[in-house]
Amino acid sequence: MEKKVGIYVHIPFCKKKCAYCNFYSLSGYDGGDTLMPAYKTAVLKHIEEYSAQLDGYLIDSVYFGGGTPSHFGASRLIEILEKLKRNGHVLLDSEITAEVNPGSITKEELVKLRRAGFNRLSIGVQCIDNSTLKNLGRTHTFADTEETFKFARQAGFKNLSLDIIYGLPSQDREAWAQTLGRVAGLKAEHISCYSLKIEEGTQLFDYKDSPFLPDADVQAGMYLYAVDILARFGYRQYEISNFARRGYESKHNMKYWLGEEYIGFGPAAHSYVGQCRYSFTEDVEGYIEQIGQGKRIVEHDEEMSDFENAGEYLMFRLRTTHGISEEEYYSIYRLKMDFVLELLYKYEKQNLAVFNEGRWRFTPKGFLVSNKLIGELLDAQTRQRTQISKPWKTETIAEETQMTLFDKRPVAAGLFGGRRLVGHNELS
């Protein structure tokens, strides 16, 4: 048994809903309510039901995201982790992360988490300005961040990640530079920088046209400044929004970007297993009820074709500085990428992409417009497919595709599990 998998556990509870948040989470519940204990019981049952599928894997990353796992309480997180250890093969050197909000966890709880095997925390800092934090609906101050960070170190955590956001209301370049400086000064191993996205359905959506929001040019400048300044502090960019000291790249999130398998538990979580993607409904109470009754709880499932997987290869790997390679693409999918290459050469001339040691990747300037570039590359991939599918070649392609599919199929997808892709702290 050598197949590795990442486990995602969604914790859909927050103390209070943030003004910009569109992740699936409920606010207003605490440990004294019955919903959190009932949810924990459902997740434990779900893991138990899934143990036959887990048996075929080595678990090398576990990620508790949300929501706010720290609001759920250390004891409940530990119970779930223990269950995973009993029902799956969690490797000793597995990366085990919990998302934590500053001020929402005590030093004693952090010690308990560390002793139970958690070895990485992702802390939602967002910015250093307390009035901005308040306007965003965050329940902490920057002093809480500093204290939680200090407690985490004292508890023995040697792998800490800090999340910050740029493009916040009233945030100018100077304020962003101060956030970057103070946050980098904490000397965490990993920093994620996300741009504020104003999504429909959030409280902030009513202010989407506010003159207090930095415009696109200012945001672009903030991003490029972050890439530059973080490099000076020793943080290497390895993904559009993620920066790490060497060796501290998030193992778990790399699975999403490298197209590796992951299994989720909890409402709204996603899974990718054996060429299938599936997800659960965004409904905690429905999840608890259906798990309790042993019902099928998948909301959406989809078997990925080889061509779709090839598209995801371009889409996800180009988010990373690892990038893509022609040989790798051909060896996995038996597809040529001549049309894609034509575009990449064009991007290279525009300083949007670089070719280095056999691999293509975007530059920071390219990352800024990566959605557009990836869209163009996917179109090029489709055009290429249309061309190679001319009748005289169809048979060969079908034969090759068949073989590739067969080679990848042995792991059957467990279609009653599945959850959300990543926790809120690490999603851009």
Interface contacts to ligand SF4, rule CB under 6 A? 14, 17-18, 21, 23, 25, 66-68, 101, 424
Among residues 21 and 180, whose Cβ is nearest to ligand SF4?
Answer: 21
In the complex, minimum distance from the CB of residue 66 to ligand SF4, in angstroms, rounded to a whole number: 5
302 neighbors 293 (Cβ within 8 angstroms)? no
In the complex, minimum distance from the CB of residue 20 to ligand SF4, in angstroms, rounded to a whole number: 7
Among residues 175 and 268, whose Cβ is nearest to ligand SF4?
Answer: 268
Bridge-based pairing state of the strands 353-356 and 298-303: unpaired
- Among residues 214, 284, 242, the alpha carbon closest in space to that of 37 is found at 284
Among residues 100 and 324, whose Cβ is nearest to ligand SF4?
Answer: 100
- Indicate the burial class of 405 (C-beta count within 10 angstroms; 0-12, 13-18, 19 or more): middle
In the complex, minimum distance from the CB of residue 394 to ligand SF4, in angstroms, rounded to a whole number: 48
In the complex, minimum distance from the CB of residue 324 to ligand SF4, in angstroms, rounded to a whole number: 32
20 neighbors 196 (Cβ within 8 angstroms)? yes
In the complex, minimum distance from the CB of residue 245 to ligand SF4, in angstroms, rounded to a whole number: 25
- Indicate the burial class of 72 (C-beta count within 10 angstroms; 0-12, 13-18, 19 or more): buried
Among residues 123 and 374, whose Cβ is nearest to ligand SF4?
Answer: 123
- Among residues 30, 300, 42, the alpha carbon closest in space to that of 139 is found at 30
Q: Return the residue matching tokens 């489709």.
A: 382
In the complex, minimum distance from the CB of residue 24 to ligand SF4, in angstroms, rounded to a whole number: 8
- Among residues 60, 74, 62, 63, the alpha carbon closest in space to that of 104 is found at 74
Among residues 4 and 424, whose Cβ is nearest to ligand SF4?
Answer: 424
Q: Which residue's C-beta sits nearest to ligand SF4?
A: 21
Among residues 101 and 242, whose Cβ is nearest to ligand SF4?
Answer: 101
Among residues 220 and 427, whose Cβ is nearest to ligand SF4?
Answer: 427
In the complex, minimum distance from the CB of residue 74 to ligand SF4, in angstroms, rounded to a whole number: 17
Helices (H) and strands (E) in the chain, counts: 17, 16
